[in-house]
Chain A
Amino acid sequence: MNKKIEKKSSVKIRKHWTKNDTELTVLALPTTIWFVLFSFLPMFGLIIAFKNYKVIGGKNFIYNVIHSEWSGLKNFQFLIKSNDLYTILRNTILYNLAFIVLGTILAVALAVMIDLLRSKRRSKVYQTLMFFPYFMSWVVAAYFLDAFLNQDKGLLNNTLRGSGNEPVQWYMKASVWPFILIFMYLWKTTGYNMVIYLSSISGIDTTLYEAAVVDGASKRQQVRYITLPGLKNVVVMMFILNVGKVFYSDFGLFYQLSQGATGSIFSTTATIDTYVFNALQSATPIGMTSAATFFQSVACCITILLANWIVKKMDPDSAII
């Protein structure tokens, strides 16, 4: 869409290069340099997934990339053969789907509810308090969690001991982690998402509600036929944004809370990102892990475009690109 308009206008306006254009180019230059260094050069760097990347002393990165041997798909074969690929791919996708579905339902429901509260002052207080976890980093959140789950001193184990039960080694028990991670994700993001949805509820034309009241619609009917349809666009937009990131995981969530996402809870906490990060810290060849990130980048790009394309087919107004 955008492209078409630009093409048209550039044909129409194209006269000659003015002083104005020179000045604007100069203004755009610093940020463009940033994008080249921190965004486009790493894109070029993705080639190392197909190379036997070696660092040659005294030469810079671009020289190294160009002069490393091609290794074809060897890095990918290596990745596919390792048993971890299935686990990390499954975890990444399933967690993201759970986050998208549960996160959206919970946040929309709460936004509708908080909008209905009679006291606006209380509503503001609840919003402020529930927004709070969003501003915590995952490192701090990991401290919170540890205070509850710690093996020796944590509140949960203390309570278990107090009531005469065996304490549980939470950080070793793989089966509880899906629940912990989903809970913590909702804990951190629900307030924030609720506020986003709430701000679009307050953007709904109030005359619609007035008309509904005149027609004798109950509050429940108003929610069903005015509020929820009014939220559709923003829900779809958030959906596209999240689906686009389905191959990415919120690294801090998985890595910090599970204290490394390794060991006996690897099977339920490791995602592509924690796997790559752990590999980067160890002696694993860089080529192999870069195969994993190459797959991630390409898959992410495809899912964003696909999600956007599907939405565009269904409802052109909701698409974002």
Chain B
Amino acid sequence: MKKRKEENSVSNLNMISKKTDISFNIIFIVLALICIVPVIFIFMISLSSEQSIQTNGYRMIPEAFSLDSYIFIFREGQMILRSLGISVLVTVVGTILGVILTTLMGYVLSRSEFKLNGFFTMVVFIPMIFNGGMISQYVVNTQFMHLKDTIWALILPLCVNSFNIVICKTFFKSNIPDSVIESAQIDGASQFTIFRKIALPLSKPMLATIALFLTFGYWNDWFQSSLYITNTKLFSLQALLDHVQRNIEMMANNPSLGVNMQQYMNSMPKEGARMAMAIIIIIPIACTYPFFQKYFISGLTVGAVKG
């Protein structure tokens, strides 16, 4: 009994005062609101009727609600649905390819008895501190690999990065005992079998981390599209959003572009529909990230360990 009392007083000493706690809470509530209010705002705009946007501008609480934007997208927005398809395809293929390439290299680097280990470590390490820059990447990708206006331009350049490989290598090194691999080798297993049957099944949390990094990277990418894609059929959702915004700016800056441009603009999604597109991009992320948050953090802390 006495002991418990003592512990209580100790833990009290170890806490901030009630007043400070309340003021800290207020600060965090304000910050959390700043972080999510823009999304709510965009969502509200996407639910406003086109009429009320035209007369009142964007409002937090619209004068007239309507689901027209979403109905428009699902009935007439073939371009939008197509780009949603491209986004999903690129994300799935890219993530699978990326996970394979990353874990293969990570596994090889984790085998310290390998004679070319030093060489391959350099292959992975050098790009971390030196790179060719945007122009020569562009020139190589378009003139050497001819990726311009192909779907591979959206997938290949993003599927490997040195940081992920280091995470992978560190994980294999610290989680798969050498003795297991040695005994498998004595039983006659090849390195590929060991990788597939032992290393991968033992590394599910790490695989989840790498896959998540890649998934979010692909889903949110618009930069590759803006460099390599001119064919509107290959636009991802992000690229389409970017494209629409830029054309609207161009219109606003050059009112003299004339009737053709005006007609083209009329075929573009309206204000509400644009905001609805943004919401379609956000929803899958907003629904899933709270569950995956811990993998992100664990991945980052593993990566922080010196490779």
Stretch at the interface among B74-82, B88-96, B281-289: B281-289
Task: Indicate if the CB atoms of A213 and B24 lie closer than 8 Å.
Answer: no
Check A30 for interface membership: any CB of B closer than 8 A: yes
Report the nearest A residue to B17, measured CB to CB: A219
Chain A 32-57 near chain B by CB (<8 Å), digits 1 or 0? 10110111111111101000010100
Contacts of A290 in B (CB 8 A): 133, 135-136
Task: Indicate if the CB atoms of A305 and B139 lie closer than 8 Å.
Answer: no
Task: Indicate if the CB atoms of A147 and B133 lie closer than 8 Å.
Answer: no
Task: Indicate if the CB atoms of A118 and B16 lie closer than 8 Å.
Answer: yes
Contacts of A110 in B (CB 8 A): 28, 31
Check B131 for interface membership: any CB of A closer than 8 A: yes
Contacts of A256 in B (CB 8 A): 242
Contacts of A3 in B (CB 8 A): 118
Least CB distance from A11 to B in Å reads 11
Check B265 for interface membership: any CB of A closer than 8 A: no
Taking A31-B105, A260-B249 as contacts, is the C-beta distance between A276 and B275 under 8 angstroms? no
Check B65 for interface membership: any CB of A closer than 8 A: no
Contacts of A30 in B (CB 8 A): 100-101, 104
Task: Indicate if the CB atoms of B58 and A27 lie closer than 8 Å.
Answer: no
A203 to B10, CA, bound (A): 21
State how many residues of chain B have any CB contact under 8 Å with chain A.
Answer: 105
Least CB distance from B43 to A in Å reads 11
Stretch at the interface among A81-89, A95-103, A123-131: A123-131
Chain A 104-126 near chain B by CB (<8 Å), digits 1 or 0? 00000010011011100010011
Contacts of A196 in B (CB 8 A): 297, 300-301
Chain A contact residues, majority secondary structure: helix
Least CB distance from A98 to B in Å reads 19
Check B144 for interface membership: any CB of A closer than 8 A: yes
Contacts of B20 in A (CB 8 A): 116
Least CB distance from B297 to A in Å reads 5
Contacts of A122 in B (CB 8 A): 25, 28
Check A252 for interface membership: any CB of B closer than 8 A: yes
Taking A45-B132, A129-B32, A155-B41 as contacts, is the C-beta distance between A118 and B297 under 8 angstroms? no
Task: Indicate if the CB atoms of A147 and B300 lie closer than 8 Å.
Answer: no
Check B173 for interface membership: any CB of A closer than 8 A: no
A289 to B293, CA, bound (A): 39
Contacts of A152 in B (CB 8 A): 57
Check A185 for interface membership: any CB of B closer than 8 A: no
A32 to B227, CA, bound (A): 24
Task: Indicate if the CB atoms of A143 and B28 lie closer than 8 Å.
Answer: no
Check A78 for interface membership: any CB of B closer than 8 A: no
Interfacial residues of chain A within 284-321, with CB under 8 A of chain B in the complex: 286, 289-290, 292-294, 296-297, 300-301, 304-305, 320-321
Contacts of B252 in A (CB 8 A): 151
Least CB distance from B188 to A in Å reads 11
Least CB distance from B298 to A in Å reads 8
Task: Indicate if the CB atoms of A297 and B297 lie closer than 8 Å.
Answer: no
Task: Indicate if the CB atoms of B25 and A147 lie closer than 8 Å.
Answer: no
A209 to B16, CA, bound (A): 13
Contacts of A64 in B (CB 8 A): 143
Task: Indicate if the CB atoms of B121 and A2 lie closer than 8 Å.
Answer: yes
Task: Indicate if the CB atoms of B304 and A116 lie closer than 8 Å.
Answer: no
Chain B 257-279 near chain A by CB (<8 Å), digits 1 or 0? 00000000000000100110010
Among all A-B residue pairs, the 9 with the closest Cβ atoms: A42-B132, A45-B136, A293-B133, A153-B57, A61-B144, A144-B38, A137-B220, A23-B191, A31-B105
- Given A43-B130, A126-B32, output 12 extra A-B contacts at Cβ < 8 Å: A17-B115, A31-B160, A32-B105, A38-B141, A41-B144, A44-B132, A117-B24, A136-B285, A234-B304, A286-B139, A290-B136, A320-B306
Question: Which residues of chain A have a CB within 8 Å of any CB of chain B?
Answer: 2-3, 6-7, 9-10, 13-14, 17, 20-21, 23-28, 30-32, 34-35, 37-46, 48, 53, 55, 60-62, 64, 110, 113-114, 116-118, 122, 125-133, 135-148, 150-155, 157-158, 187, 190-191, 195-196, 199-200, 203, 209-210, 213-214, 216, 219, 222, 234, 237, 244, 251-252, 256, 259-260, 263, 273, 276-277, 280, 286, 289-290, 292-294, 296-297, 300-301, 304-305, 320-321
